[in-house]
Amino acid sequence: MTQLLPPVVVANLHRRYTGVSATVRALVPLQRRQLAIGLIDWGQLGLEVGMASADLLLQGWRPPPGAARRVWHARRDLEILVGLLLREGLRQPWAVLFTSAAPKPPGPVLCWLIRRCDAVIATSGRSAGFLPQGCVSATIPHGVDTAFYCPVPAAPGGEGGAADPDPPALIGCFGRIRASKGVDLVVEALITLLPDRPGYGAVFTGLARPAEREFLAGLQRRIAAAGLERRIRFLGDLDRLTVRDWYRRVCLCVAASRREGFGLTPLEAMACGCAVLTSEAGAWPELVDGEVGRRFQTGNLASLTDALALLLDQPGELRAMGRRARRRALARHSLEAEAGAINGLYRQLLEGAALARAPISRRC
């Protein structure tokens, strides 16, 4: 029996595993609890695709039963282009939906593509502000898997959550080891602060690619010169489960990026019950406030050092921030909420709704 082409198709047309790939892998299984969703996957995400690529040509000429059209969900330039080829080139009944997380204006080509989409999702108010006027149909922030990213489960008869050391011992920095992530700023702040705060240490997790290994070696030399090599450690590229375990062990997650798309690591840390200190990059100004942590001026070492010192000198407040961060992640930033909001937009498009769309003639 021929398998029917699903009403919604999500595209992952990239062979390397990226943040976009991780988003698709996390969301699609949850979305499929409510809707039939096909997947065109070049990146071997390990998900059931639910269709064959040839089905686009064999079955894409008619809308699915009970709907006005199908939905093609793109998150990259190439994916928009393929959706437009189906809709405009082949005249198939598709609505092209694009999700944008970039906190910067789109280039001319991407702007041209965005203006021809039927609907656009922005992942933050900041990213929405850079898109062509009138094109954003919905702002749907990224969520995290709050069942996976969670504090240490309660022991039988216990209250749950990780034990509260006094003072809390570890600061964590998670993500790629490179200058754009502000790792050098964090190292310099730690070199300044840790000698007078013997109760603290720090760990860095993440990949240093060959081009960045000299950058890492330079940081390690700075740490050794300060006599802090036993208190500031680089753990390397770790699997998802091990990273989660480190989130649970640290009292403070520092995210110091000079530039960022959305930036999920602070949310993952918050879901694990950890306070956060971030720059103003990405969506972080919309996620982090004095209830769950602090922010500092992007790229400014003095601002980072001052904010970090303030937090480290209040261990009791750090723990309270971590508890509030977990509650906020559950209330506002669950992956289930993101999946449900996107599915709601799919349904509107399947029904033929005319959502926000920028005028073709308007420049970015």
**Are the CB atoms for 45 and 21 separated by under 8 Å?**
yes
**Are the CB atoms for 38 and 51 separated by under 8 Å?**
yes
> Which of 33-42, 152-161, 305-314, 320-329 is least confident?
152-161
pLDDT digit string, tens, across residues 121-146: 999 888 888 888 888 999 999 999 99
**Are the CB atoms for 96 and 82 separated by under 8 Å?**
no
pLDDT bin (cut points 50, 70, 90) of residue 222 is very high
CA distance 236 to 212: 13
Task: Answer yes or no: is pLDDT of 168 > 90.
Answer: no
**What distances in angstroms separate CA 23 from CA 99, 166, 234, 313, one per listed residue?**
11, 36, 26, 36
Phi (first) and psi of residue 124, to 5 degrees: -160, 165
pLDDT digit string, tens, across residues 2-21: 568 999 999 999 988 887 88
Task: Answer yes or no: is pLDDT of 356 > 80.
Answer: no
**Structure tokens, 338:** 């993101």
**Structure tokens, 334:** 């669950």
pLDDT bin (cut points 50, 70, 90) of residue 40 is very high
Mean pLDDT of the chain: 90
The C-alpha R_g of the chain, in whole angstroms, comes to 22
Share of the chain above pLDDT 70, in %: 93
pLDDT digit string, tens, across residues 51-97: 988 999 999 999 999 999 999 999 999 999 999 999 999 999 999 99
pLDDT of residue 17: 82
pLDDT of residue 126: 86
Return the higher-pLDDT residue of 195 and 165: 195
Average of pLDDT values for 143-165? 69
What is the pairing mode between strands 70-74 and 119-122? unpaired
Task: Answer yes or no: is pLDDT of 247 > 90.
Answer: yes
C-alpha 121 chain-centroid distance: 14
pLDDT bin (cut points 50, 70, 90) of residue 266 is very high
pLDDT bin (cut points 50, 70, 90) of residue 164 is very low
- pTM, to two decimals: 0.81
Place of tokens 């601002």: 303
pLDDT bin (cut points 50, 70, 90) of residue 1 is very low
Of 278, 24, 273, nearest in space to 175 by CA: 278
CA distance 157 to 188: 43
pLDDT bin (cut points 50, 70, 90) of residue 290 is very high
Show the domains of the chain with their CATH numbers.
8-143+335-350 (3.40.50.11930), 170-332 (3.40.50.2000)
Q: What is the 3-state secondary structure (H, E, C) of the chain?
A: CCCCCCCEEEEECCCCCCHHHHHHHHHHHHHCCCCCEEEEECCCCCCCCCCCCCHHHHHCCCCCCCCCCEEEEECCHHHHHHHHHHHHHCCCCEEEEEEECCCCCCCHHHHHHHCCCCEEEECCHHHHHHCCCCCCCEECCCCECCCCCCCCCCCCCCCCCCCCCCCCCEEEEECCCCHHHCHHHHHHHHHHHHHHCCCCEEEEECCCCHHHHHHHHHHHHHHHHCCCCCCEEEEECCCHHHHHHHHHHCCEEEECCCCCCCCCHHHHHHHCCCEEEECCCCCHHHHCCCCCEEECCCCCHHHHHHHHHHHHCCHHHHHHHHHHHHHHHHHHCEHHHHHHHHHHHHHHHHCCCCCCCCCCCCCC
CA distance 207 to 191: 22
